[in-house]
Amino acid sequence: MLSAQPRQSAPARGLTLIEMVLVLTLLALLAAIALPSWQQQLQRSRRGDAIAALARIELAQQDWRSRHAQFAPTLAADGLALPALSPGGHYRLAIVIATDAPDLTSGYRAVAQAIGAQQGDSNCLWMAIELLQGELRLRSGPDARLGNAAADNRACWRQ
């Protein structure tokens, strides 16, 4: 015999519109919180590009100085023959006479200036290695004056 009871329909499956909106809102909130931290970490890792390029310049300068009466005046072919961009392309490189040194016999300053996406790294836009009268200094700053305080300078050079 057939029963006269009505059939119960299967429960609906899937997400309702309200549930979908809540999930998307939660994802957007998490992304908004995580994005700045991710960008800071990315900028910090790109600083390694400047550090490696400046270390390469330092080694090349020591090699040059062992064969010449002064340090190399440029990165170009008449100097160290090194590229003007860091390997990753995040920094523009140059050699300048350090303001504390009267000429290239007593020292030099190799600078790396952030370009492109790395310009968001506001406190470490400029990084430099200075060799003055035998003393090597690591410097950094938001501009060419390289005026970071000691703690900020250590943060720029830390990997």
Q: Note the residue count of the chain.
A: 159
The pLDDT of residue 16 is above 90 = no
Q: Contact, 47 vs 121, CB < 8 A?
A: yes
Percentage of residues in the chain with pLDDT exceeding 90? 48
State the pLDDT at residue 2.
58
**Three-state SS at 137:** strand
More confident residue, 137 or 33: 137
State the pLDDT at residue 87.
94
Task: Give the model's confidence band at 6: pLDDT under 50 very low, under 70 low, under 90 confident, else very high.
Answer: low
Rounded to two decimals, the pTM is: 0.75
The pLDDT of residue 105 is above 80 = no
pLDDT digits (tens, 9 = 90+) for 120-131: 898 999 999 999
Return d(Cα 118, Cα 102) in angstroms, integer. Answer: 32
The pLDDT of residue 55 is above 80 = yes
State the pLDDT at residue 139.
95
Tell me how far CA of residue 105 lies from CA of 44, 74, 82, 87, 98, in angstroms: 34, 14, 20, 28, 11
pLDDT digits (tens, 9 = 90+) for 93-104: 999 876 566 667
